[in-house]
Amino acid sequence: MKNFKYAVATAAYAPASAPILLTGDICSNLRKAKEFGYDAVEIHMREDELINIDEIKRVMKETGIGISMIATGRLATESFCSLLDDRPYVTDSALDSIKKYIDIASAVGADIILGWVIGNIPVGALSPEKYLDRLATNLSLLSEYAVGKNVKLNIESINRYEVNVFTTVKTLNDFIEKYNLKNIYIHIDTFHMNIDEISFEDAINTAGSKLGYVHLADNHRRCPGTGSIDFKNVLDLLQNVNYNGYLSMEFLPVPSGEVVAKQAVEYIKNL
């Protein structure tokens, strides 16, 4: 079994219902991640948060801990933006804000997650294809900007109870191939996969070389090893496609974020 790299989901603040394990300022979370045995932190934040990039980079160097991803979910949940909205001022705001995320990611050597900010196709839309065309155009604009910043864009496949676009790896992969999108990678999450994928093996093989990021959570969105997902099999499948990215722990902080952050990385490493 290869040695994977491990990340943990963090944020300055988060409700107990969010799959965030470490809360507090970025520098404190970098130090906690080192203490718990991680290689990096995944940061959930707003694009307009005031952060001290120089201090963050200093603590990254001090701890040897990197930043795997900057997650953009709050652009959807707090700012109500999406990349396929019918209102041009909404998509324009999404584009401008994601570029700010890309700037932050570039400064700290991270990449970007695009999940909920993709948006949903309106129920009953007469032409769903129109929305996918719009999304592809906007992603192409972002991709061009990100390439210049040496940042990769990772689109998350999310379960059907939360979104109606890209609920499986195949639909996401087909979209990337149809529009010939560059610098766009597939982000999988074992919790979401357990709901909508027929086969973990087929999904991971379909992603193949486009697989850019992995979230680990058990079937009930709690700590890996406490539910029914076979994580040894997941690791084997990832090794088979030569996945070299991070395994990021993103699940509910039950009974507490710090307790399960330590438990999860120990469990997965022992596999």
What's the fold here for domain 5-270? TIM Barrel (3.20.20)
The total number of residues written for the chain in this structure: 271
Domain ranges of the chain: 5-270
Note whether 101 and 70 are within 8 A (CB): yes
Q: What is the mean pLDDT of the chain?
A: 97
| pTM of this structure | 0.96
What sections of 64-210 are H helices per DSSP? 73-77, 88-108, 128-148, 169-178, 190-196, 200-207
Model pLDDT for residues 195-222, shown as the tens digit of each residue: 999 999 999 999 999 999 999 999 999 9
CA-to-CA dists, residue 45 to 63, 201, 255, angstroms: 21, 32, 23
- CB-facing half-sphere around the CA of 61: CA atoms within 13 A: 6
Structure tokens at 102: 């890309």
Model pLDDT for residues 71-111, shown as the tens digit of each residue: 999 999 999 999 999 999 999 999 999 999 999 999 999 99
Task: Give the confidence band of 125 by pLDDT, cuts at 50, 70, 90.
Answer: confident
For 251-271, the DSSP string reads S--SS-HHHHHHHHHHHHHH-
Model pLDDT for residues 247-263, shown as the tens digit of each residue: 999 999 999 999 999 99
pLDDT at 1: 59
pLDDT at 6: 98
* Residue 11 predicted with pLDDT over 80: yes
Note whether 257 and 22 are within 8 A (CB): yes
Model pLDDT for residues 27-60, shown as the tens digit of each residue: 999 999 999 999 999 999 999 999 999 999 999 9
φ, ψ at 201 (rounded to 5°): -65, -50
pLDDT at 126: 83
Task: Give the confidence band of 3 by pLDDT, cuts at 50, 70, 90.
Answer: confident
Is the torsion defined by CA of 74, 79, 85, 89 positive or negative? Answer: negative
Percentage of the chain modeled with pLDDT above 70: 99
pLDDT at 102: 98
**How many Å apart are CA 205 and CA 169, to the nearest integer?**
10
pLDDT at 177: 98
Model pLDDT for residues 52-81, shown as the tens digit of each residue: 999 999 999 999 999 999 999 999 999 999
* Residue 124 predicted with pLDDT over 80: yes
